[in-house]
Structure formats: C-alpha cells, structure tokens
Chains A and B, each alone.
Chain A
Amino acid sequence: MYRKMVTLQVMDTIFYDAQRQGRISFYVTTIGEEAINIGSAAALNATDVVFSQYREPGVLMWRGFTLQQFANQCYGNEYDLGKGRQMPVHYGSNELNYLTVSSPIATQVPQAVGAAYGLKMDKKDACAVTYFGDGGTSEGDFHAGMNFAAVLGAPVLFICRNNGWAISTPTSEQFRSDGVAIKGQAYGVRSIRVDGNDALAVYFAVKNARKMAVEEFRPILIEALTYRVGHHSTSDDSSKYRSVDEIEYWRTRRDPVARLRMFLQSNRWWDDENEDLLRQDLRTQMMSVLHNAESKKKPGLSNLFEDVYDVIPQNLKEQEQETQAIVGKYPKDYPSDVPLD
C-alpha cells in the first residue's frame, strides 16, 4: 500500500510538471488524498465496480493500470483506451471495472446505484463504489442517489473525499450541515466519518463497510476528512483564494504519505534507503513513460466518428468523408501527427 501511495505522489508531481511545460494539456492532482485513494482501493475486491469523480486515479493504479497507460490517456495517443476522446485524467478501464470518468459533478452517484441494483438482482458478491468530493454533495444527484440506494437496499459505498475545497468554495460556503456523514443519516444510510489521511483507518473503514453493503444489501456512506493540497486542476491557482501557509502546512505536516512512512519506519519495516531507491526508480520510470507516450502517434481521424453509435450511420460516414477530404486537401492547416484514417 505504501509503495502505491508514493507512486501516486510521484506520478502526480511529474504529470503536473509536464503540463506546466506544455507537454500535456491538462492535469488534476491527488496530492494530499493518497491515503483515501489507496487505502480504499486496497479494501475493495477487483470485481467491485468503481464510479469515480476525477481525483481517484489511485484506485485505478491499485487495480493494475500501469504508469504507461496513465500517460497514454493524458497524451491521448493511439494506445489510449479512450482513443483520445476525453481530456486527461478521464481514465476508464472495462477490464479493471473502473468506469470512464465523466466531468459533470456527481452524475456518477446515481449511476453507481444503478450498477448496484444490477449486482443485487444478479446476487453477485460485489458492490458498487462511488467517489465524490464535498462539493459533489450539494448536487441533486447526490441526494437522489443516496435516497434511491437506501430505498432499494443497494450494495453501494458512497465515499466522500471531504477535502475542504470545491475549487475556490470552502466547505463553510458549500453546506451548513455538520459535514457529510450526517447527510447520510437523513436518508437512512449508515454513515461513518474517518480520518482520510490515515491510510490504515480508511482501509479498515472501507473493508467493514463493504462487508455490510454486500452481506446486508445496504448502502454505506463514508466521509473521509482530508485536505486538497494541490490546486483544483492545472487551470487553477489556489493561492488566489487560500493562504499559502495553509497549503504548506497540510503539504508538509499533514502529508498522508509521510504519515504512513513514519509508521512503517518506526516498526522498522521501511527505511530511508528504501525510500530514496523507490523514488529514484519511480522518477526514472515516469520519464521513460512520458517519453514513450509522447512519441506515439495520435489516434486517426476515423476515431472522431466511430463509437458514437455501435455501427456508424450514413450521416456520420458522409461527415467523415467530408472531413477527410478537407484535411487531405489542406494538410498544412491541420496537426501533422494525426493520421487521416
């Protein structure tokens, strides 16, 4: 678990820098929330279906998504599973039971309930899991999703990363309730509040919640308290609305990765040398992964028109031909790394 948390931290740092250097167009970091990502992922089964918001790549990482695959999606190259159609960090993997990320907030919450409904009908030993932030709990979809899950007795885990900020809106301006756990109680959903920066606490909370959800056919709400150390995304500069001191405090003194590291080291299961080696190795891997992803071709133009429907209809075929004709005629006006087919 610790290694994965470090990997997530290193990956985030390097991708963020890559965006700043203009190598990728956009990125969303998970800095400060590594414990929630990895701790919860470790407590789930591979068959549990995950509906995330966009700050949970650690869950995908835990399940086996490789650094190369993350990079391919961010670069939108021909190896991207999403075929270059979504923005960076909107990962998705059918194989790893992680549904493709969709930007609108909280739309994944009722979807998770729907998946849980299916699992319940099929009596599978699996649950649906959905992640969202404190801001997401204001959306109508959150409330209805919770209500539905409670009424249906759906085996779904609602994991809220209460990180204090929704872009520039602090939780004090997001809701006046006593956090998020109490919202669950209003819907008749068993809820728990957990220290989101304690990886082991998150792990045990999710593990127990999962057991309850699957065995008793009920939803569980987990509010994990944490802090969003990074900016909302690369399009944001959070020093504009919060003090740099506050950010620094959480980044250095309340870092979940460092916290687990100290626990491991105090038990002599880890040491500084291991740490340095790990980080060194990860940096090298990331560099090669970035280079690799950058050098690959982009998906061809036909990907613009495929998968809109299961079989491409006539009107789209015509539009594709028109587009190919124009790009073929004026190649200098179009990117050179996008093949025509």
Chain B
Amino acid sequence: MRAPPSTVRASKLVTNAVAVKSETASIAATKSGHELLLFEALREGLEEEMERDPRVCVLGEDVGHYGGSYKVTKGLAEKFGDLRVLDTPIAENSFTGMAVGAAMTGLRPIVEGMNMGFLLLAYNQISNNCGMLHYTSGGQFTIPVVIRGPGGVGRQLGAEHSQRLESYFQSVPGLQMVACSTPYNAKGLMKAAIRSENPVILCEHVLLYNLKERIPDEEYVCCLERAELVRPGKDVTILTYSRMRHHVLQAAKSLINKGYDPEIIDIISLKPFDLHTIGNSIKKTHKVLIVEECMRTGGIGASLRASIMDNFWDYLDAPIMCLSSQDVPTPYAGTLEEATVVQPPQIVKAIKQLCG
C-alpha cells in the first residue's frame, strides 16, 4: 500500500504538532521573510541547490511530474527536466544503488524514499556500500548522496508505514543522520545535506509536512552537526527531535505555568550527537529527560543515554529518563496508535517526577 496523495494528508492534519507554532524556534526569521509549509521549505532548499549546482539530481518513485507523494518535488521536473528529477521503477535497493554509483562518478543525487519504511529494502546498499565505499576505497571515491523521506508514526498508516528507521541507521558507520522539525531547519538541513561530501540521511516526519512558519528570504544553511536550543532554562534538559519537539513544546506550556523552567533542545543531529550543546545544558541543569518516537529498545534514546552517561556522568543528579514508544508494531486503530506515541501529559508527568 502506498501513501495517499498529500491533499488528503492536509485535510486530516489536526495534530498536536500544529497546535504549537514555532514562535520559539525561528532563529533568524525576520518580519520581511516569507511564510511557507515545511514541505515547501524542503522544496525551496532543493530547488536552490539544484540551481546552484548542475550535478544535483533527484531520484525516487513518483518524484517527477507527479511531484512526489508529499509534493516535495512538485514543479521541479518541469523546471529541470526528466533526467535531473528522475522517476524510478519500484526497486528501492536498486535506485539507492544507482545513486551510490552516480555519486561515486561525480553526481550529487538525492534519493527520495516514498516512506522511510520502504528504505529498509535499500538497507543493503546503504549499509554495505553507501556508508563503506569511501573508507574501503582508501578515500578514492566519495559518496555525497542524500537519502530522505518521511518516517515516524502518522495518522493510521498501519505498522509498515510507521517505521522509525533512525534506529536502524544510527549504527551504520560512514553515515550522517539529521532530523528536521520546522520549516526553517528543514530547508537549512536539506541544503547542508546536499552540500556535504558524506552520505546524509535526512529524516522527515510524515505529520510535519504542513507545519507553517515564516523563514528568511536570504539564503541560509543549517549546520548538520549542531543541535538547536529551542528554549533556554535551568531546571531540566529535555532532549528531543522531529515531531516530539512539538509535543515537548506543548507540554512545556503546562510546565511553565506550574513553575518549571525546562531547557528544551532539539538534537537535530542524530548521528553524530552534538554533545557540546547537550553537555553544556546538562552541566547547567543536572537532569535529563529524552523524549523520542523510537521504540524503547535500540532507539536514538538508548544511544543518547549511553553517550550522556559516558561523558557527563559526574554532572547528573538523577538517572536519565527516557520516554519512548513501546516495542510494538504500530497498530492501525487510532486510539491504540495514539497510545504508542509519547503525548504531552506523559511528558509533564515525567518532568514532575524528575524535578519534584
């Protein structure tokens, strides 16, 4: 089953995520900027990079004249031609392999997985070749690909279409991985990923595509390795990424009313972690809550906890808390599905427990 067109997506989007506008998130947004939705921000970043460098191209299913399942590539095929925005047959391992081969011989391809879950089919090429060939060739060949697509739990998309692939990819050496969460960082990370010489996985979230924000008119690029300080505070460090950032912000409203002062960091870079930003925060607050959408076992939270313990053990006043999804396939029933994703009330409760 493939995802329905994005017009259906837009009308069904009544998420908690949209309720929290990104007033705290925009760093350089000026009144003279322009407003757009996250998927448009991704497209803007992509278009600017394709204009800037003729070697940049896009490969994926339905990315051409259809404009992509989430409309990220809409209009690009008309502008850049059918070869630069290439519609591929349905074989994820193969078009990812194609991208690896093209990258090694001079192009800068972007692979769009219609849903991150389908990229599991491309795992062989991603793990055995994409992450490895720069190393095994002795540095002779670089693989500047960007692999992107929507992941995360959506609105009743079923278990196979609700995967959190960041868990599986975080272990592959040679890859970099980032997760965007706002139109601002979506555009900036897309541009940075394309310009990077390393293979980068850009994790998007299926429910965040219609998030609206005002972003600068001037050109900007985000840093792939830097976390975003969303809200400074001194009581507790909350580490999160992607859609959970918005759940955390929603919970924060309630927490602030109750007198807590949480420091919220969107980690952005899932591989490698920005331990500098994270560490500075922990040294200030001494308490950590991680809020993620991954499963409990082997997720980003699990690795982050290990990293924090290795590096900042002496600064912790309490065990690191981590809110994750349960180790279950995501059920189709809406009520059950909602129970598998961390919700704002859970976050509030966890902070109360952590901070007293």
A residues near B (Cβ < 8 Å) are: 49, 51, 80-83, 85-86, 90, 92-94, 99-100, 102-104, 107-115, 117-122, 128, 140-141, 143-145, 147-148, 151-152, 306-310, 313-315
Are B89 and A102 neighbours in the complex by a CB distance under 8 Å? Answer: no
Are B138 and A85 neighbours in the complex by a CB distance under 8 Å? Answer: yes
Q: B100 — nearest CB in chain A belongs to which residue?
A: A111
User: Within 8 Å of chain A (Cβ to Cβ): is B156?
Assistant: no
Residues from chain B with a CB closer than 8 A to the CB of A119 are 105
Closest 10 CB pairs of A and B: A111-B101, A110-B97, A114-B101, A144-B94, A114-B98, A144-B91, A114-B102, A100-B137, A94-B140, A110-B94
Question: A144-B89, A307-B134 in contact; A115/B104 too (CB < 8 A)?
Answer: yes
Q: B144 — nearest CB in chain A belongs to which residue?
A: A310
Residues from chain A with a CB closer than 8 A to the CB of B29 are none
Are B101 and A110 neighbours in the complex by a CB distance under 8 Å? Answer: yes
A81-B137, A92-B138 given; name 20 further pairs at CB < 8 Å: A80-B138, A94-B140, A100-B138, A100-B141, A102-B128, A102-B133, A110-B101, A111-B98, A114-B100, A117-B98, A117-B107, A119-B105, A128-B101, A128-B105, A140-B94, A144-B95, A145-B97, A148-B91, A148-B94, A309-B134
Which stretch from B16-24, B80-88, B287-295, B342-350 is at the chain A interface? Answer: B80-88
B94 to chain A, nearest CB (A): 3
Residues from chain B with a CB closer than 8 A to the CB of A104 are 124, 128-129
B287 to chain A, nearest CB (A): 24
Are B135 and A51 neighbours in the complex by a CB distance under 8 Å? Answer: no
Most B-side CB within 10 Å, residue of A49, A103, A107, A310: A107
Encode B266-284 as 1/0 by CB contact (under 8 A) with A: 0000001101000000000
User: Within 8 Å of chain A (Cβ to Cβ): is B106?
Assistant: yes
Partner of A114 from B84, B97, B133, B173 at Cβ < 8 Å: B97
- Provide the bound-state CA to CA distance between A109 and B198, in Å: 22
- Provide the bound-state CA to CA distance between A219 and B31, in Å: 54
Are B105 and A309 neighbours in the complex by a CB distance under 8 Å? Answer: no
Partner of B104 from A111, A306, A307, A309 at Cβ < 8 Å: A111
Q: B109 — nearest CB in chain A belongs to which residue?
A: A114
Q: B81 — nearest CB in chain A belongs to which residue?
A: A121
Residues from chain A with a CB closer than 8 A to the CB of B86 are 117, 152
Partner of A141 from B57, B94, B99 at Cβ < 8 Å: B94
Question: A144-B91, A147-B91, A148-B88 in contact; A107/B275 too (CB < 8 A)?
Answer: no
Are B95 and A110 neighbours in the complex by a CB distance under 8 Å? Answer: yes
User: Within 8 Å of chain A (Cβ to Cβ): is B356?
Assistant: no
Q: A309 — nearest CB in chain B belongs to which residue?
A: B198
B108 to chain A, nearest CB (A): 10
User: Within 8 Å of chain A (Cβ to Cβ): is B225?
Assistant: yes
Are A110 and B139 neighbours in the complex by a CB distance under 8 Å? Answer: no
- Provide the bound-state CA to CA distance between A51 and B100, in Å: 12
Q: B103 — nearest CB in chain A belongs to which residue?
A: A114
Residues from chain A with a CB closer than 8 A to the CB of B83 are 117, 120-121
Are A310 and B93 neighbours in the complex by a CB distance under 8 Å? Answer: no
Residues from chain B with a CB closer than 8 A to the CB of A306 are 139
Q: B83 — nearest CB in chain A belongs to which residue?
A: A121
Partner of A107 from B95, B124, B134, B198 at Cβ < 8 Å: B124
Residues from chain A with a CB closer than 8 A to the CB of B96 are 110
User: Within 8 Å of chain A (Cβ to Cβ): is B73?
Assistant: no
User: Within 8 Å of chain A (Cβ to Cβ): is B325?
Assistant: no
Residues from chain B with a CB closer than 8 A to the CB of A307 are 134-135, 138-139
Question: A114-B97, A145-B94, A145-B97 in contact; A99/B174 too (CB < 8 A)?
Answer: no
Q: A111 — nearest CB in chain B belongs to which residue?
A: B101
Are A113 and B101 neighbours in the complex by a CB distance under 8 Å? Answer: yes
User: Within 8 Å of chain A (Cβ to Cβ): is B217?
Assistant: no
User: Within 8 Å of chain A (Cβ to Cβ): is B142?
Assistant: yes
Partner of B125 from A49, A110, A117, A315 at Cβ < 8 Å: A110
Are B89 and A82 neighbours in the complex by a CB distance under 8 Å? Answer: no
B48 to chain A, nearest CB (A): 20
Residues from chain B with a CB closer than 8 A to the CB of A152 are 86
Most B-side CB within 10 Å, residue of A120, A121, A151: A121
User: Within 8 Å of chain A (Cβ to Cβ): is B197?
Assistant: yes
Residues from chain A with a CB closer than 8 A to the CB of B124 are 104, 107, 141
- Provide the bound-state CA to CA distance between A93 and B107, in Å: 18
Are A118 and B107 neighbours in the complex by a CB distance under 8 Å? Answer: yes
- Provide the bound-state CA to CA distance between A284 and B54, in Å: 50
Are A83 and B139 neighbours in the complex by a CB distance under 8 Å? Answer: yes
B194 to chain A, nearest CB (A): 14
- Provide the bound-state CA to CA distance between A148 and B137, in Å: 26
- Provide the bound-state CA to CA distance between A299 and B134, in Å: 17
26 CB contacts below 8 A, A to B, read A86-B136, A90-B136, A93-B140, A99-B133, A99-B141, A100-B133, A100-B136, A102-B133, A102-B136, A104-B128, A110-B94, A110-B125, A111-B97, A114-B101, A117-B107, A121-B107, A140-B91, A144-B91, A144-B94, A145-B98, A147-B89, A148-B89, A148-B95, A308-B135, A308-B173, A310-B198
Per the 8 Å Cβ criterion, residues 121-168 of B in contact with A are: 124-125, 128-129, 132-142
User: Within 8 Å of chain A (Cβ to Cβ): is B176?
Assistant: yes
Residues from chain A with a CB closer than 8 A to the CB of B134 are 307-310
Are B101 and A51 neighbours in the complex by a CB distance under 8 Å? Answer: yes
Residues from chain B with a CB closer than 8 A to the CB of A114 are 97-103, 105, 107, 109
Most B-side CB within 10 Å, residue of A108, A143, A152: A152
- Provide the bound-state CA to CA distance between A35 and B186, in Å: 53
Residues from chain A with a CB closer than 8 A to the CB of B88 are 148
Encode B23-62 as 1/0 by CB contact (under 8 A) with A: 0000000000000000000000000000000000100000
- Provide the bound-state CA to CA distance between A242 and B106, in Å: 44
A7 to chain B, nearest CB (A): 24
